[in-house]
Amino acid sequence: MFSEAIEEVSNYTRAIHTITRNYLGPHISPGAATLFFVNELGYAVTCKHVAELLIQANNINGHYEAFKKERDQIPKDGKFKKQLRGLEIKYGLDAKKTAQMKVSFVGCVDKMSGFSWHLHPDYDLAIVFFNGFQQLSYHEYAVFPKNPDDIKPGKFLCRLGYPFPEFNNFQYNEAKDDIEWTQTGNPQSPRFPLEGMVTRFLIDRQGNKNGIELSTPGLRGQSGGPLFDQDGVIYGMQSQTKHLQLGFDIENKAIMSNGHLKKVNDYSFIHLGECVHAEVIKDFLRQHQVKFYEK
């Protein structure tokens, strides 16, 4: 049903890869999110919570670089550990504190000097613009519906994103005490489509439809990915997943498992995806005079 649309939407939907490391630990945790481009000028949209994380990365890395600069000036003598501990307290660093975060925009542009952004004041939506590029690495761009009433409960739609961070082109450089991207390893994660039925609309305080609820969850890493129909028309953007208790609670129920009687508990929830409505995206693009297309 969505096979051709997935191929089309994949032309302008891209992964955001992140790697993070906590202080006092060389272990690197990979993460992923999604964005999609709305025109041929380097403008894309993603979730506000994703953009805020990317913005925060610069502050995190700058904070740790300042710490390292002071740390490297401490004499390596008998007072080193005590002075280092004081410096850790000064910078608020402990074993659970994120010390570094690096970001890679996969297949977006040939090069960049940074990115600019607009964060929506009310909704989980952000516009991202890449600075300093010479050539685009994506093809085509999103097309939104002219008529928002085309979206109705019962309509099947699909989301596309990169929820499973299988890339491993990174390493910890012990000599530099730094995490870094490498030219070796797997730089890609597979795209992952997920369909769902429109169940309800999300309504803001003014009574306007600002979101779309789906019968299936959006997966971690699909945040910022497009929501589209079988023709590839973009109806929204995956934002978050909510969890509603069904009331089918089971407590201390005896069951037979592997030949043994045991008691189990089960608390059932339904996991529903929430997407930012296409009309919210279009209005925000208009507000910032960003070119987009309709069908």
Which domains can be identified in the chain, with CATH numbers? 3-294 (2.40.10.120)
Sequence-distant (6+) residues with CB within 8 A of 259 are none
At residue 268, the pLDDT reads: 87
| Residues of the chain below pLDDT 50 | none
Q: Is-contact 243 271, C-beta < 8 A? A: yes
Task: Specify the pLDDT at position 281.
Answer: 97
Residue 48's pLDDT is: 98
> Strand 260-266 to strand 250-257: parallel, antiparallel, or no bridges (unpaired)?
antiparallel
Of 225, 46, 43, the C-alpha closest to 138 is 43
Q: State residue 150's pLDDT score.
A: 77
Residue 56: strand pairing partners = none
Closest to 225 measured CA to CA, from 166, 285, 167, 142: 142
- Structure confidence at residue 151 (pLDDT): 84
Per-residue confidence (pLDDT) for residue 148, from 0 to 100: 76
Q: Is 164 helix (H, G, I), strand (E, B) or coil?
A: coil
Res 108: pLDDT: 97
pTM for this model (two decimals): 0.90
Write down the pLDDT at residue 41.
96
Give the model's pLDDT for residue 256.
83
- Predicted pLDDT at 92: 94
